[in-house]
Amino acid sequence: MNPFRRFETIVAFRFMREGLTQTLLIVFGVALGCGVIIFMSALLAGLQDNVVRRTLSFQAPIVILAPDQVARPLRDGSRESVTAQIQPRSQQLRSVDQWQKVQATVAGIPGVIGVTPVVTGPGFAGRGEARKSVSITGIDSSSYFDVIALPEKIVAGRHEPGPLDIIIGTELAKDLGTAVGDKMTLTSATGVASVLTVTGIFDFGNKGVNERNVYVTLRTAQNLLDLVGGATSIEVRVLDPFAAETIAQSIRADADLEVDSWIRTNAQFFSAMAAQILANTLIRFFVGLTVALGIASVLVVSVVQKSKEIGILRAMGTARAQVLRVFLVEGAFMGLVGALAGALLAWGFLLLWRGVATNADGTPMFIVVIQPSLFVIACAGATLVGILAAVIPARRAAQLDPAVAIRG
């Protein structure tokens, strides 16, 4: 049945048209409120997405490591510790036990979309007199790029290192005065050295990473770090970065391994993000409440203004439920139309923001994600708020005594 031919819709729309200024004002109010909510949510989502993307561009969401070596306390026959103080053991560079098996097992976990072995250790990069301490990262080109988007970050040369190649960051290249094609020496902390050719320069947009990280093949790193056949860590990429900790826990539960998720290693960032989400939720709540009170107050006034008409309608056989629905339709309509107008407003502002908030090079400061679902949720939410706000005035209208209402 056509809803626009229903009694409630016809009466509600006519009532709203009769008080057009009042209706337009509240629709404008709802539009502003809804626009603010959508704009803020999109901005925050964009900001979060941007930070997450930047963080995960050089860091795997999950890193599996060999368990820490622990000092064994000396015990006597009674199994009581005889040492007064146990000094923690210094950690050596060790391979994950049976890393190939671990890699295969983890690859089968739902939600995991990339697994790669990595050999990491300290070293020095030198050219001529210049020497810089670096973190040597040995990668398996066939799987590493499924986890870390290194190819996207290459600003010069190529992304796949050969056995005698090295890929360095822009900052290190600047410090050492090297360019693609230059030779440099890479020395491990144990003193093993190798002369390598710079075949690529990357820029992760992070000074520390650009200064510290160097990429060589897995085999080269194994030789330099004296870890032949080993892998110091397994790096894992997951479909939903926010599910990383859950997946890490499941890996941790199944094997005696040290498993770190980026959520644990970036705890401060997540606590800041949680505070931001809470602040945004509070703002949304209070804006929603203001919108609801606005709709409710307009409808309360409308019920008073229309009490005679309601009395007449009741006298001619209109049921209480029908009167109730008239005002619920009004509330829903004001919420929905206000939300649609607010969505348009927010969309316009977001496009404007994209154009205004730019970096020095003209690229967007951060990508604002305009998700259709956000608009749908906001519109549905505003309609619901409209209906809920209308409940009290609608009940009041339905309870009006027709004889009293007609007398005025």
Partner 1 sequence: MVDARAAAATLRLERVRKSYGAGTPLEVEVLHGIDLTLQRGEFAALIGPSGSGKSTLLNVIGLLDPPSGGKLYLEGQDTGALDEGEATRLRGRSIGFIFQYHHLLPAFTALENVMMPMLAARGALDDAMSEAAAALLQRVGLTPWRNQKASEISGGQQQRVAIARALAMQPALVLADEPSGNLDTENADAVFDLMRDVNQASGTTFLIVTHDPRLAHRCDRIVELVDGRIVSDAPNREVVRRG
Residue with tokens 């989400």: 277
Q: How far is CA 103 from CA 95, 139, 174, 226, 371, in A?
A: 13, 14, 36, 21, 35
Nearer to partner 1, 18 or 97 (CB): 18
Q: Is 301 among the residues that bind partner 1 (CB under 8 A)?
A: no
Q: Is 170 among the residues that bind partner 1 (CB under 8 A)?
A: no
Minimum CB separation of residue 404 from partner 1 in Å reads: 9
Q: Is 316 among the residues that bind partner 1 (CB under 8 A)?
A: yes
Identify which range of 106-114, 280-288, 361-369, 397-405 contacts partner 1 by CB under 8 A.
397-405
In the list 272, 301, 315, 376, the residue contacting partner 1 (rule: CB under 8 A) is 315
Minimum CB separation of residue 10 from partner 1 in Å reads: 7
In the list 88, 108, 317, 355, the residue contacting partner 1 (rule: CB under 8 A) is 317
| CB-count exposure of residue 228 (10 Å: 0-12, 13-18, 19+) | exposed
Q: Is the dihedral of CA 267, 270, 275, 276 positive or negative?
A: positive
Secondary structure element (H or E) that encloses residue 407, with its range: helix 402-407
Residue 99 contacts residue 234 (beta carbons within 8 Å)? yes
Q: Name which of 116, 133, 141 is nearest 216 in CA terms.
A: 141
Identify which range of 13-21, 68-76, 181-189, 224-232 contacts partner 1 by CB under 8 A.
13-21
Q: Is 395 among the residues that bind partner 1 (CB under 8 A)?
A: no
Minimum CB separation of residue 363 from partner 1 in Å reads: 55
- CB atoms < 10 A from the CB of 102, how many? 20
Minimum CB separation of residue 376 from partner 1 in Å reads: 29
Minimum CB separation of residue 28 from partner 1 in Å reads: 22
| Token code pair at residue 105 | 């097992």
Minimum CB separation of residue 18 from partner 1 in Å reads: 4
Residue 234 contacts residue 63 (beta carbons within 8 Å)? yes
- CB atoms < 10 A from the CB of 276, how many? 13
- What string of H, E and C letters represents the secondary structure of 35-69? HHHHHHHHHHHHHHHHHHHHHHHHCCCEEEECCCC
Q: How far is CA 275 from CA 78, 118, 120, 167, 269, in A?
A: 51, 34, 34, 38, 10
In the list 18, 68, 97, 254, the residue contacting partner 1 (rule: CB under 8 A) is 18
Q: Is 20 among the residues that bind partner 1 (CB under 8 A)?
A: no
Q: Is 226 among the residues that bind partner 1 (CB under 8 A)?
A: no
- For the chain, what is the largest distance between any 2 Cα atoms, rounded to a whole number of angstroms? 102
Minimum CB separation of residue 322 from partner 1 in Å reads: 6
Q: Name which of 41, 44, 40, 63 is nearest 52 in CA terms.
A: 44
Nearer to partner 1, 292 or 398 (CB): 398
Give dist(CA 43, CA 40) in Å, integer.
5
Minimum CB separation of residue 329 from partner 1 in Å reads: 13
Minimum CB separation of residue 337 from partner 1 in Å reads: 19
Identify which range of 154-162, 180-188, 250-258, 316-324 contacts partner 1 by CB under 8 A.
316-324
Q: Is 234 among the residues that bind partner 1 (CB under 8 A)?
A: no
In the list 10, 86, 195, 239, the residue contacting partner 1 (rule: CB under 8 A) is 10
Minimum CB separation of residue 319 from partner 1 in Å reads: 5
Q: Is 94 among the residues that bind partner 1 (CB under 8 A)?
A: no
Q: Is 309 among the residues that bind partner 1 (CB under 8 A)?
A: yes
Q: Name which of 9, 61, 2, 28 is nearest 294 in CA terms.
A: 28
Q: Is 21 among the residues that bind partner 1 (CB under 8 A)?
A: no
Identify which range of 44-52, 65-73, 225-233, 314-322 contacts partner 1 by CB under 8 A.
314-322
Residue 369 contacts residue 316 (beta carbons within 8 Å)? no
Which positions touch partner 1 (CB under 8 A)?
Answer: 1-2, 5-7, 10, 14-15, 17-18, 308-309, 312-320, 322, 401-403, 406
